[in-house]
Amino acid sequence: MAQQPNIRYYKPKEEFSLDIRDIESFVYDMSRCIKCKGCTWVDHTYMPGAKFMTRCPSATLYEYDAYGAYGKLRIAHGMVEGKVDWNETALEIVYACTLCGACDVGCKRNLDLEIELTLEALRVKAVRDGVGPMPAHKKIAENIQKQHNMYGSPHDKRSAWVPQDAPPADKADLLYFAGCAASYVNQEIAQSTARIFKAAGTPYMLMPDEWCCGNTVFSVGMFDEAKAMAERNIEEVRKTGAKTLVTSCAEGYRMWKVDYPKLLNMATEDLGFEVLHLVEFVDEKVKNGALTLTKPLDTRLTYHDACSLSRLSEPWTPYTGKRGWMGCVEPRLKRRRGANGVYAQPREILQEIPGVDLIEMPRTRENAYCCGAGRGTKEAFPELAQFSANHRLEEVKEIGAETLVSACPFCKNNFNQAVRDNGDPVQVMDISEVICASIEA
C-alpha cells in the first residue's frame, strides 16, 4: 500500500493584530493573495459596461502587475522572506499609489484580506528602513514642522479665511476643523461651511491654535510623527470641551475618525467627541427642519465619492485575536469593507436642492474611481494624479454632467486643474459651496 504523505490538516491558532507598525502582522494577507485581480477590476455585477471597469489608478496608468495591489503584496512578502530588498523601483511602486482603498474593497468581495492596512504597513516599513518617504513628502513634513501646515504658509494666517458675516464663537459645542486646504488654498470651502453653520442656527468654535491633521505624514508612513500630531490635536480638542468636531475635508475626516484612533491604538468611539463630516451635519439639519435648501440650482450634476469620506471612513476598532484553519479568526473581527461609508447623506442633500438633476457615474459609492490627489500622491507623482482626474472626468463627460461635486478640497483642486488643462465643459464645485448657494439669505 502506497504511503500517505504526511499532511498536517490542522495548525495551531496563531495570535495576530491589525498593527501597521509591523509588516509581519500582514504576512497571512500577503501570502493568501491569489492574483485574481479583483483589486483591479470592478466586479462585473456592478458594471453597466466595459468602458470604466478598472478600480486601481496605479495599475491602470502604469500597466505593470507590480503596480497593482497583488504586485505590492508580492514585493512586501519578498521583503519579509528576505528575498527582495529596497531599490529605487520598489520604492516608486510602493508610493505611486493613491492609497485609495479600492483594492481593499475589491479583495474583500472574496477573501477578506487586509490590503489597505498592508499597504500602509509597507510605507511604515519604508520609513523605518530609512528609504521612505519620497523627497516631495519630506518637504511637506518639513513645512508642517515649521508652520503647522502642509504648504509652509505662515501659521499666523491660518484663520484669515474667517468671514465677518459668520464668525466663530468663543465657546460652542461644535468645533469646526478647517484643515490646511480650506484654511489656505480653498478658503471658499471654509467660508461656505461657516455660513452653513450660521444658517442652521448652530454656533461653532475653532481650535485655539489649529494645526495640520497630519494626513500626508501618516499616509507616507511617518508613523511616529503622525502619532505625535494625533496626540496633540486630540488633546487640544478635548480641552475645548467640544462635543462634536465637524470638518469639510474628507482627508481630515478620515484622519480624525479612523487614523488617529489607529495611531493611538484606541477605538473611534473612545475619542471623547463625535467626528462628523459637514454632509452628515447638514443632512441632519435638513431632516429636522433647521436648514432649508430652497434656492434653485439648475444643473445636471454628478457626485464624486471622495475615498476618505466613503470606503475609507468606517470607524476603527483595535484588534488582536487568533487565526486558525482557513483563516477563521476569533474573537469575531468586524471587517471594514467600505460599504458603510458616507454615501446617502450627500446624495440626499443634493436631491433636496430645487433644479438639481443628480445623475450617477458608472463607478459609484465604494466602487468609485479615485481622483488621484490625496495621501501625498499629487506632490510626489503628479502624472498619476493628473491621469486619475482625467480618467474620472471621462466618466463625468460620458453621462453628460455639467457639474461635478465632491466633498473634499483635494478632489476639487485636482479636478479643477484637469478641467482647466483640458478645456472640459465641466464646472467643479465642493458640496459646501453648493449647499451655501441654495440657502436663502
Binding-site ranges for ligand SF4 (CB under 6 A): 33-39, 55-59, 69-70, 73, 97-103, 106-107, 111, 113, 115, 119
107 or 419: CB nearest ligand SF4: 107
Report how far residue 350's alpha carbon sits from residue 255's, in angstroms, rounded to the nearest whole number: 25
Shortest Å, Cβ 143 to ligand SF4: 24
If you count them, how many residues does the chain have? Answer: 441
104 or 280: CB nearest ligand SF4: 104
Report how far residue 258's alpha carbon sits from residue 17's, in angstroms, rounded to the nearest whole number: 16
Q: Which amino acid is at 91?
A: L
Report how far residue 23's alpha carbon sits from residue 1's, in angstroms, rounded to the nearest whole number: 45
**Per the structure block, which three cell numbers stand in for 202?**
448652530
Cis peptide leading into residue 133 (ω within 30°): yes
Shortest Å, Cβ 57 to ligand SF4: 5
Shortest Å, Cβ 309 to ligand SF4: 16
Report in angstroms the alpha-carbon separations of 314 from 208, 310, 329, 405: 28, 8, 20, 22
**CA nearest to 120, candidates 39, 23, 35:** 23
Report how far residue 143's alpha carbon sits from residue 273's, in angstroms, rounded to the nearest whole number: 28
Shortest Å, Cβ 371 to ligand SF4: 11
Shortest Å, Cβ 353 to ligand SF4: 31
98 or 248: CB nearest ligand SF4: 98
46 or 151: CB nearest ligand SF4: 46
**CA nearest to 37, candidates 93, 107, 101:** 107
Shortest Å, Cβ 80 to ligand SF4: 16
370 or 434: CB nearest ligand SF4: 370
163 or 382: CB nearest ligand SF4: 382
Q: What is the DSSP string of 163-226?
A: -TTSPPPSS-SEEEE-HHIIIII-HHHHHHHHHHHHHTT--EE--TT-----HHHHHTT-HHHH
Shortest Å, Cβ 45 to ligand SF4: 15
56 or 242: CB nearest ligand SF4: 56
Report how far residue 72's alpha carbon sits from residue 81's, in angstroms, rounded to the nearest whole number: 14
